[in-house]
Chains A and B, each alone.
Chain A
Amino acid sequence: MNDFVNPTIEYAQLWPILVVFGVACLGVVLEAFLPRGRRHLSQSVLAVLGLAAALGGTVYVGLDLHKFGGGAARGLIAAEGTIVVDGPTVYLWGLILVFSIGGVLLFAERRLEGGVSAFAGQAAALPGTEAERQASTQGLDHTEVYPLLMFAVGGMMLFPAANDLLTMFVALEVLSLPLYLLCGLARRRRLLSQEAALKYFLLGAFSSGFFLYGVALIYGFAGSMQFSDINEAVRNDASNQSLLLIGMGMLAVGLLFKVGAAPFHSWTPDVYQGAPTAVTAFMAAGTKIAAFGAMLRLFYVAFGSDRWSWQPMLWVIAILTMLVGAVLAVVQTDVKRMLAYSSIAHTGFLLTGVLGVQSASELSDGQVTSMQAVLFYLTTYGFAMVGGFAVVTLVRDSGGEATSFARWAGLGRRSPLVAGVFAFFLLSMAGIPLTAGFVGKWAVFTVALAAGAWPVVVVAIGSSIIAVYFYVRLILLMFFTEAEGEVASVTTPSLLTSATIAVGVVATLVLGVVPGPVLDLAGHAGQFIR
């Protein structure tokens, strides 16, 4: 028998992720031992502090990464080859943590609902029963949402950092399970929320099954779970192509489900609409960032040598996703659903960036790389989505959030500031110059065109035109349409939500006017290491 070898864990590089998981566990303990009245404050403060510490740690780790190949890549492979901490990982960690802090701030908002949070008082109480009434008269609050969020954040951070298929699968589950639960916890419209949670859970479990099956097939092909070994096998082993292709397809299904790409997008509108809006904001930004990070790593690192097999697939998926998202968004009459379809369209644009990968020899000096473009787009997308959904939480009528278009008519006259801010986010999503969305769109279209994917770019331009229509129509509704019947009004939020929205606006403007530093940062992140 071999001697037991102590595994080396690079705590100095991995501690941001460990802090997040540690705080999540601490949150569970607090939930068990603190009296109910003090949970909300301590849980939210703990979550923000934990995330801030992790963010600080991420910056610190990022500054100190070991460089490879003349600065083309940086980082190290940690935890016995299961986790990679390289430039893109650190960038994605930073993004996820920034948007998670925004998520916690939105979770902690209590002024909008008159002193309670947006989450159900007692999730176990059936809607419409005596127990539910009791819970709401007592002003009960679910504070478990903070540990749940922290677990999800931990999963999101692990997802793009995973260096083997099994770690990736574990991360996928760790990030998904808390989200399924969070989706079902809305205080208002509970049936809708629970339906969303169930739908998300069933479809998500199904897609995880696909992913796991893909893991098994790829293991059968390569004889290893490690991405670098899979890459070697793809390079050297011409036999068993069918095993590789089927496995690749199955893995793609799992990932494409998570990012909400067509034809695996159908959960998106229902879940985005049914989930509490704060959860939607967090999920829309965080999940997409994590899943795109994982997708980039899987396709670039593990299957990078077999580019010609998966690029055509992504062409088709990207085209389909953009068209489905843009066309179906046109017929929506609910703000949250419209944003959900718009997020599907954004997935398509991001895929356009993903498929624009070129080998280093094909790129000229200083040209934008596909990685840089996708990372930047994720940044701009996250700020606009979190900010946009945060604005949606403010627009309310007697029944809570009013998301139907009819209620938004004339909002620009009643509350010009809030409507103006929302219009600004919409313009960014539409990709109008001087907003961050434009620079992001420019970047992903450019890399795709440079890689010769001009048909995808043509469709992307076409879908952008369609997308402009539904964004502008909403602006038209807010500013130039006379209100009829009952309308929604803006409730003044506490500092938490205002701060989130303000950061979103400032970031969207700054990234639109001077995108240089962040673009350079995304460029300095360099390539993946294997």
Chain B
Amino acid sequence: MNDFPWLTLLILVPLVGSLLVAFLPKAPGSALPKQVAVAVSLLTLAIGVAIAAQFSSGDGMQLTETHTWIDAFGVNYALGVDGLGLLMILLTVALVPIVLVASWNEADDGNAAAFFGWALALEAFSLAVFAATDVFLFYVVFEATLIPAYFLIGGFGREGRAFAALKFLMFQLGGGLVLLAGVIGLYVVSAQQGSPSYLLSDLSQLNLSTGAERWLFVAFFIAFAVKAPLFPLHTWLADTTERATPGTSVLLVCVLDKIGTFGMLRFCLGLFPEASQWATPVVVTLALISIVYGALIAIGQDDILRLIGLTSLSHFGFITLGIFAFSSQGGSGAILYMVNHGIGTAALFLLAGFLIRRRGTTLISQMGGLEKVTPVLAGLFLIAGLATLGLPGLSPFVSEILVLISAFDYHWWVGGVAVSGIVLAAIYVLWMYQRVMTGPTPPTVEGTRDLGRRELVAVAPLMLALVVLGFYPRPLLDVANPTVYSLMEHVGVSDAPPAVPAADNGSAEEGHQ
């Protein structure tokens, strides 16, 4: 192994790029900042791929870098990737260039350089979150992501975005401060047991008393439940996606919100295994409520961006359910779900954005009849929708079935309730498609352009990924499974011997039986 600081490079490139884009001397309306931003995001993608190429599955934390940062607090600048971190990093570096290309003209009425600069800053901090192996460092970048997100929401989008940005930030910072209490608590406990340290490797060795562990778990979990989001801390989600640009929503829902479920896996399970098991009944209940409630209110929405935002509430319910079902299928399913949800929802948001640009409204009731005029847009929209509802052959199906298996393993009624989420998903997706695309073509939309080349370039990788990973999810599972197994071992649960062989593609069980 070489000692080249790949992860630092991965974080620094977009960070420097964002400053470059923001302060580049430019003529008004020039496309230079956008071009630079896309180039930087592609370079980041290349670094991400290079990291993936060096990654060897099953070797635990890799590419680690550790430097003392704040000696007095026992804080280190420590980075590293495991399978989970790698998948999240790859998702992030892949989505950002897509979003930038898709949002090419979104910010033209405002300060376009600012939009692209903030997006890159958000990418940099998110990558740092997924790579951090020091709790203090994680907290710092966890909070730092909010500043670019705040300016992306508040500065670009529709009427009422300032309020949405305030609401978003209040929820997130509120959750963040609860997390701060947990982070401080960890310091105190670690100081009591010798020298204070924030390294993940040191903290997982701590001897926590039951009470302390539970309080710390609650603090961490609340913060991640706001982020993910879970019922009843989700109310910022729909307001934000409704007001922000679709590109911003993709960055928020598909990248930033993953920090919530990522944090549950890495910190809640990793640091507080007993408390995680103790809290399972409550968490599973909240996840089930999120699944059903999110789907039900999504059905009732008339704003297409609100609707897509709320579908994510349902999806995050599934992910959380998978995590807290404590089985290897559930864990792998949840990690896979995080990736697939990122791809599917990004496609849906971006296509909805293209649609809104053409129709000039976000209201489903005022759309309709586009199918014949713009067949490509309609077709892709349908595929993205079908992916969201979990159609076999598209990638979200694999993860959904894994999570459902683990849910039935956990208890039959948990599985039963979760399955209803799929049925409801079929309703909101198909009914939305029907109202938006089908029907007689109104004369006002006769001449609507179909997808242009830039728009196709943006969504094509997503579509490709949906299909390919739907048929061949093995690479993802190979990366995710070792992480899941070591987590399960750490938590101290093992799968019940299956009475019936699990009905998935079998790879989740590999190396396990």
Listed in ascending order, the chain A residues whose CB lies under 8 Å from chain B are: 363-368, 372, 427, 430, 432-434, 438-439, 441-443, 445-446, 449-450, 457-458, 461, 464-465, 468-469, 472-473, 476, 479-481, 514-516, 519-520, 523
Binds A, one of B58-66, B139-147, B367-375: B139-147
A445 with B191: in contact, given A476-B166, A479-B154 (CB under 8 Å)?
Answer: no
B180:A461 contact, CB within 8 angstroms: yes
B188:A461 contact, CB within 8 angstroms: no
Nearest 9 CB-CB pairs, A to B? A480-B162, A433-B140, A519-B72, A433-B143, A480-B154, A367-B191, A468-B173, A450-B188, A465-B174
B147:A432 contact, CB within 8 angstroms: yes
A364:B147 contact, CB within 8 angstroms: no
Q: Is B376 interfacial (CB-CB < 8 Å)?
A: no
Interface string of B158-170 (1 = CB under 8 A from A): 0001100110011
- What is the bound-complex CA distance between A461 and B175, given in angstroms? 10
Minimal Cβ-Cβ distance residue in B for A442? B184
A-B contacts, 28 of them at CB < 8 A, read A364-B194, A365-B195, A366-B196, A367-B196, A368-B72, A430-B173, A432-B144, A433-B142, A433-B143, A439-B70, A441-B180, A442-B180, A442-B183, A442-B184, A446-B73, A446-B184, A450-B191, A461-B180, A465-B170, A465-B177, A468-B170, A472-B170, A479-B154, A479-B155, A480-B155, A514-B70, A515-B70, A516-B70
Extra 12 A-B pairs, beta carbons < 8 Å, given A365-B195, A445-B180: A364-B191, A442-B180, A445-B184, A446-B184, A457-B184, A461-B180, A468-B170, A472-B173, A480-B165, A515-B70, A516-B69, A519-B73
Minimal Cβ-Cβ distance residue in B for A472? B169
Minimal Cβ-Cβ distance residue in A for B193? A364
Which of B140, B146, B151, B183 has most A Cβ within 10 Å? B140
A434 with B144: in contact, given A442-B73, A461-B180 (CB under 8 Å)?
Answer: yes
A461:B72 contact, CB within 8 angstroms: no
Minimal Cβ-Cβ distance residue in B for A365? B195
Interface string of B183-199 (1 = CB under 8 A from A): 11101100110111000
A449:B188 contact, CB within 8 angstroms: yes
> For A449, what are the chain B residues with a Cβ–Cβ distance below 8 Å?
184-185, 188
- What is the bound-complex CA distance between A365 and B165, given in angstroms? 43
Q: Is B393 interfacial (CB-CB < 8 Å)?
A: no
> For B146, what are the chain A residues with a Cβ–Cβ distance below 8 Å?
432
Q: Say which size band chain B's interface belongs to.
A: 35 or more
Q: Is B13 interfacial (CB-CB < 8 Å)?
A: no
> For A476, what are the chain B residues with a Cβ–Cβ distance below 8 Å?
154, 162, 165-166
> For A481, what are the chain B residues with a Cβ–Cβ distance below 8 Å?
162
Listed in ascending order, the chain B residues whose CB lies under 8 Å from chain A are: 69-74, 139-144, 146-147, 150-151, 154-155, 161-162, 165-166, 169-170, 173-174, 177-178, 180-181, 183-185, 187-188, 191-192, 194-196
B192:A364 contact, CB within 8 angstroms: yes
Report the minimal beta-carbon distance from B206 to chain A, rounded to whole angstroms: 13
Partner of A427, one of B147, B166, B184, B191: B147
- What is the bound-complex CA distance between A446 and B75, given in angstroms? 14
Minimal Cβ-Cβ distance residue in A for B170? A469
> For A441, what are the chain B residues with a Cβ–Cβ distance below 8 Å?
180
- What is the bound-complex CA distance between A523 and B162, given in angstroms? 43
A516:B72 contact, CB within 8 angstroms: yes
A368:B162 contact, CB within 8 angstroms: no
A364:B196 contact, CB within 8 angstroms: yes
- What is the bound-complex CA distance between A441 and B150, given in angstroms? 22
> For B180, what are the chain A residues with a Cβ–Cβ distance below 8 Å?
441-442, 445, 461, 464
Minimal Cβ-Cβ distance residue in B for A427? B147
> For A368, what are the chain B residues with a Cβ–Cβ distance below 8 Å?
72-73
Minimal Cβ-Cβ distance residue in B for A362? B192
Report the minimal beta-carbon distance from A355 to chain B, rounded to whole angstroms: 15
A446 with B188: in contact, given A465-B177, A469-B170 (CB under 8 Å)?
Answer: yes
> For A520, what are the chain B residues with a Cβ–Cβ distance below 8 Å?
71-72
> For A469, what are the chain B residues with a Cβ–Cβ distance below 8 Å?
170
B177:A464 contact, CB within 8 angstroms: yes
A372:B72 contact, CB within 8 angstroms: yes
- What is the bound-complex CA distance between A461 and B155, given in angstroms? 29
- What is the bound-complex CA distance between A519 and B70, given in angstroms? 8
Partner of B72, one of A366, A438, A464: A366
> For B74, what are the chain A residues with a Cβ–Cβ distance below 8 Å?
366
Which of B72, B162, B177, B183 has most A Cβ within 10 Å? B72
Report the minimal beta-carbon distance from A44 to chain B, rounded to whole angstroms: 35
Report the minimal beta-carbon distance from A433 to chain B, rounded to whole angstroms: 4
- What is the bound-complex CA distance between A481 and B166, given in angstroms? 12
- What is the bound-complex CA distance between A439 and B180, given in angstroms? 11
Report the minimal beta-carbon distance from A125 to chain B, rounded to whole angstroms: 46
B191:A523 contact, CB within 8 angstroms: no
B154:A523 contact, CB within 8 angstroms: no
B71:A434 contact, CB within 8 angstroms: no
Partner of A366, one of B140, B188, B195: B195
> For A461, what are the chain B residues with a Cβ–Cβ distance below 8 Å?
177-178, 180-181
- What is the bound-complex CA distance between A366 and B188, given in angstroms? 12
- What is the bound-complex CA distance between A438 and B136, given in angstroms? 11
Minimal Cβ-Cβ distance residue in A for B74? A366
> For B154, what are the chain A residues with a Cβ–Cβ distance below 8 Å?
476, 479-480
B173:A465 contact, CB within 8 angstroms: yes
Minimal Cβ-Cβ distance residue in A for B141? A433
Report the minimal beta-carbon distance from B216 to chain A, rounded to whole angstroms: 12
A432 with B143: in contact, given A446-B187, A472-B170, A476-B154 (CB under 8 Å)?
Answer: yes
B140:A434 contact, CB within 8 angstroms: yes
> For A446, what are the chain B residues with a Cβ–Cβ distance below 8 Å?
73, 184, 187-188
- What is the bound-complex CA distance between A364 and B191, given in angstroms? 6
> For B170, what are the chain A residues with a Cβ–Cβ distance below 8 Å?
465, 468-469, 472
- What is the bound-complex CA distance between A22 and B178, given in angstroms? 50
- What is the bound-complex CA distance between A476 and B147, given in angstroms? 12
- What is the bound-complex CA distance between A363 and B191, given in angstroms? 8
Report the minimal beta-carbon distance from B189 to chain A, rounded to whole angstroms: 10
Partner of A480, one of B143, B161, B181: B161
- What is the bound-complex CA distance between A40 and B159, given in angstroms? 52
Which of B146, B161, B162 has most A Cβ within 10 Å? B162
> For B169, what are the chain A residues with a Cβ–Cβ distance below 8 Å?
468, 472
